[in-house]
């Protein structure tokens, strides 16, 4: 359940590395119980933003409050209520699976017996029980990811930060992680994630913030952004001048995006209009599908349209 309470609030949040501005005066809020996705091309500033939320990276300017606490002066208290699954694998290769969890629990002053009991529960929750005494080198990429997320939950956080939680996982592994994220949300945990998988963002997030060059360029519920930028249907076809001309003349609001030889056509008209036009080109291979968040992402952050066409 998403509440009206603001749990995280950033105002003019800025991070510079020397002269380079990685996060450029962004404002955003995250509500208690929400799942918010940060999307954006490589280098957009997602990880840098997440790192500031968990007090790993100091702000250059602006303000950032987490559960009412100031990240610059109350880092210790914030760290106690936040769980982090970083983008990179930072498991300790010298320890076994369970030992990784037990050692991590020490940062939070969790007593040893309590740490072990939490660790065992989490290993079960993430279907890693059989690997409890395995070394990290024996785990597959997907198992490591699940262990990193399990580790993030040891301190029973209010807020879970997941930086690319499913990158490199097979479809089954991704679905296991999605399922766990959903059940954590049912327990009331607020989730912030970054991802390059638009289906993941659409499946999990109440709201997405799209970043580019350190700025938030758009923000909204996935379905709302799809309606706003793309419409209902998308037609995909190999570029064909006559077909595109017919679509343009018959559908007043048609928008054509050329990606090399491939053309994507968007319309805000109701379902069925593409089929009508497509009938006139029976020898063409046309794909008509629902608009999705990837269309929005490419439109806002992707290559520019081929101006020639």
Q: Which stretch binds ligand ATP (CB under 6 A): 37-45, 65-73, 96-104, 116-124?
A: 37-45
Q: Does 43 bind ligand ATP (CB under 6 A)?
A: yes
Reported for 43-46, long-range contacts at CB under 8 A and 24+ positions apart, including other chains, are: 44/211, 44/212, 44/213, 44/214, 44/301, 45/15, 45/211, 45/213, 45/214, 45/215, 46/163, 46/194, 46/211
Q: Does 192 bind ligand ATP (CB under 6 A)?
A: no
Q: Which of 1, 4, 19, 42 binds ligand ATP (CB under 6 A)?
A: 42
Rounded to a whole number of angstroms, the minimum distance from the CB of residue 43 to ligand ATP is 4
Q: Which stretch binds ligand ATP (CB under 6 A): 36-44, 96-104, 126-134, 229-237?
A: 36-44
Q: At what angle do helices 141-152 and 112-125 cross, to 10 degrees?
A: 130
Closer residue to Mg ion, CB minimum distance, 45 or 231: 45
Q: Which of 33, 37, 40, 165 binds ligand ATP (CB under 6 A)?
A: 40
- Residue 27, C-beta contacts closer than 8 angstroms, at least 6 positions apart: 10, 11, 12, 13, 216
Q: Does 273 bind ligand ATP (CB under 6 A)?
A: no
**Displacement of CA 101 from its chain's centroid (Å):** 25
Residue whose beta carbon is closest to Mg ion: 47
Q: Give the total of residues touching ligand ATP (CB under 6 A).
A: 11
Rounded to a whole number of angstroms, the minimum distance from the CB of residue 129 to ligand ATP is 31
Using CB under 5 A as the binding rule, the residues of this chain from 70 to 99 that contact Mg ion are 87
Rounded to a whole number of angstroms, the minimum distance from the CB of residue 162 to ligand ATP is 13
Q: Give the total of residues touching Mg ion (CB under 5 A).
A: 3
**Which residue bears the tokens 């929005």?**
296
- Residue 247, C-beta contacts closer than 8 angstroms, at least 6 positions apart: 235, 254, 256, 265, 274, 277
Using CB under 6 A as the binding rule, the residues of this chain from 100 to 139 that contact ligand ATP are none
Contact 45, 214 (CB under 8 A): yes
Q: Does 17 bind ligand ATP (CB under 6 A)?
A: yes
Rounded to a whole number of angstroms, the minimum distance from the CB of residue 195 to ligand ATP is 9
Using CB under 5 A as the binding rule, the residues of this chain from 21 to 50 that contact Mg ion are 46-47
Q: Does 45 bind ligand ATP (CB under 6 A)?
A: yes
For 2, how many CA atoms within 13 A lie in the half-sphere containing its CB? 12
- Residue 12, C-beta contacts closer than 8 angstroms, at least 6 positions apart: 25, 26, 27, 61, 62, 63
Q: Does 195 bind Mg ion (CB under 5 A)?
A: no
Closer residue to Mg ion, CB minimum distance, 46 or 144: 46
Q: Which of 36, 37, 47, 131 binds ligand ATP (CB under 6 A)?
A: 47
| Distance between first and last Cα of the chain | 46
Report the C-alpha gap between 288 and 263 in whole angstroms: 12
* 78 φ, ψ (degrees, to nearest 5): -65, -45
* Coil, strand or helix at 229: helix
User: Which positions touch ligand ATP (CB under 6 A)?
Assistant: 17, 22, 40, 42-48, 87
User: Which positions touch Mg ion (CB under 5 A)?
Assistant: 46-47, 87
């Amino acid at each position: 359940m998403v509440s009206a309470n603001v749990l995280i609030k950033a105002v003019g949040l800025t991070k510079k590395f020397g002269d380079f501005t990685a996060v450029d005066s962004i404002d955003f809020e995250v509500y208690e119980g929400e799942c918010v996705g940060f999307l954006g091309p490589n280098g957009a500033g997602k990880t840098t933003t997440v790192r500031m939320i968990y007090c790993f990276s100091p702000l250059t300017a602006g303000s950032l409050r987490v559960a009412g606490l100031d990240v610059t002066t109350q880092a210790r208290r914030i760290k106690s209520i936040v769980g982090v699954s970083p983008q990179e694998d930072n498991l300790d290769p010298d320890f076994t699976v369970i030992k990784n969890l037990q050692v991590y629990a020490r940062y939070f002053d969790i007593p040893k017996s309590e740490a072990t009991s939490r660790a065992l529960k989490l290993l079960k929750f993430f279907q890693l029980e059989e690997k409890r005494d395995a070394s990290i080198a024996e785990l597959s990429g997907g198992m490591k990811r699940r262990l990193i997320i399990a580790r993030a939950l040891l301190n029973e956080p209010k807020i879970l930060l997941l930086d690319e939680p499913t990158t490199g996982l097979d479809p089954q592994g991704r679905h296991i992680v999605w399922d766990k994220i959903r059940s954590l949300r049912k327990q009331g945990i607020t989730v912030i994630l970054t991802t390059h998988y638009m289906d993941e963002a659409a499946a999990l997030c109440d709201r997405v913030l799209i970043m580019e060059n350190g700025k938030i360029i758009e923000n909204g519920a996935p379905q709302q952004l799809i309606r706003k930028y793309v419409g209902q249907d998308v037609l995909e076809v190999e570029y064909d001048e006559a077909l595109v001309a017919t679509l343009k003349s018959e559908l007043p609001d048609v928008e054509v995006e050329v990606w090399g030889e491939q053309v994507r056509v968007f319309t805000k008209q109701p379902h069925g209009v593409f089929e009508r036009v497509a009938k006139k080109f029976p020898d063409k291979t046309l794909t008509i599908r629902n608009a999705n968040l990837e269309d929005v992402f490419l439109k806002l952050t992707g290559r520019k349209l081929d101006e020639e066409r």
